[in-house]
Amino acid sequence: MHKSYIKDAFMDLQDHICGRLEALDEEGKFLEDAWERPGGGGGRTRIIQGKHIEKGGVNFSAVSGDMPEKITKALNIGATEFFATGVSIVLHPKNPHVPIIHMNVRYFETTSGLWWFGGGIDLTPHYVDDALATDFHKALKTTCDKHDSDYYPEFKKWADDYFYIKHRKETRGIGGIFFDRLNEERGKKEDLFNFVSDVGYAFPDLYANQFESNYQRSFSEQEKEWQLHRRGRYVEFNLVWDRGTKFGLDTDGNIESILMSLPAIAQWTYKYKAGEKEQLTLDKLKKGIDWAG
């Protein structure tokens, strides 16, 4: 399986997802910024500011070049060239009853022969709806189980641990799946690609279910305010703890593309008091909840 095959598949995935999201939004269209990386490769950043999706990005990139020395040292390998391609998505809805969602699929290889896939999907409801959280995790489990029954429990735990706002002692949302460094030790490249591809194509269905259940629901000022504070937490996670964001900011990446994950507007209030209903959500921002049952 040549890297160009994976790259093309990821571009197709981006197209497919953008089409589905535009249909959900009813009005918004993605605007594309094609960019090139001075060291090699480039990407297609696509941003939507829609009727229902307040701010969203569906980004594709495929970059290559000399591997930074910092990384060859960390990987304990000699000088080599790398190739990395992926699709990254974050969607911030207008309606606080619709969750924030994040998806990423990625592939990495070096000319020295290393390769792996990574990715994940996680959901950040402003208000946790148990039935929808269960839907989400069950669908992820179904996608995983088609490939390996060990995947869901392993990658669900990985997501709980990864999407954790350590300084707030709370998870970012209700988790999902997260995986990295899936290589020849975990399966054949074709099989792993098929898994990652299934995760990518599962995304629009997963999101449509969350979106359609609530996008027409009315909401109060208090619910909107709560949403803006939850977005504040999202900003905190992404800027303080997210490894991908940190890596991008440290290595002079495409800043506007990396920070598309930040919401249009976020709010911080000293010791903001959650109401009773909001407290029900806070109580569920914990690791280890068995949503898939």
Which of the residues are catalytic? 102
Minimum distance from CB of 265 to its own copies (Å)?
Answer: 5
Q: How far is the CB of 275 from its own copies (least distance, A)?
A: 18
Give the integer Cα–Cα distance in Å for 176 and 291. 9
Q: Which of 77, 139, 249, 289 binds its own copies (CB under 8 A)?
A: 249
Sign of CA dihedral 55, 61, 66, 72: positive
Distance CA 156, CA 172 (A): 14
Q: Which of residues 251-280 bind its own copies (CB under 8 A)?
A: 252, 255-256, 259-260, 262-271
| Alpha-carbon dihedral angle through residues 77, 82, 86, 92, given to the nearest 10 degrees | 70
Closest CA to 171 of 97, 240, 233, 235: 233
Cα–Cα distance, 65 to 37 (Å, whole number): 10
CA angle (255, 238, 122) in 5-degree steps: 115
Q: Which member of 12, 129, 148, 236 binds its own copies (CB under 8 A)?
A: 236
- Least distance (Å) between residue 136 CB and its own copies: 26
Binding mask 154-183 for its own copies (x = CB under 8 A): ------------xxx---------------
Q: How many residues bind its own copies (CB under 8 A)?
A: 32
* 240 lines the binding site for its own copies (CB under 8 A): yes
Q: Which of residues 11-40 bind its own copies (CB under 8 A)?
A: 33
For residue 167, the minimal CB distance to its own copies (Å) is 4
Nearer to its own copies, 22 or 129 (CB): 22
- If one asks whether residue 282 binds its own copies (CB under 8 A), the answer comes out as no
Pick the closer one to its own copies by CB: 83 or 237: 237
Distances (CA, A) of 227 to 19, 90, 95, 268: 26, 16, 9, 11
139 binds its own copies, rule: CB under 8 A: no
Q: Are 114 and 77 in contact (CB under 8 A)?
A: yes
- With 0-12 CB in 10 A as exposed, 13-18 as middle and 19+ as buried, what is 12? middle
The residue ranges that bind its own copies (CB under 8 A) are 33, 45, 47, 55, 57, 166-168, 228, 232, 235-236, 239-240, 246, 248-249, 252, 255-256, 259-260, 262-271
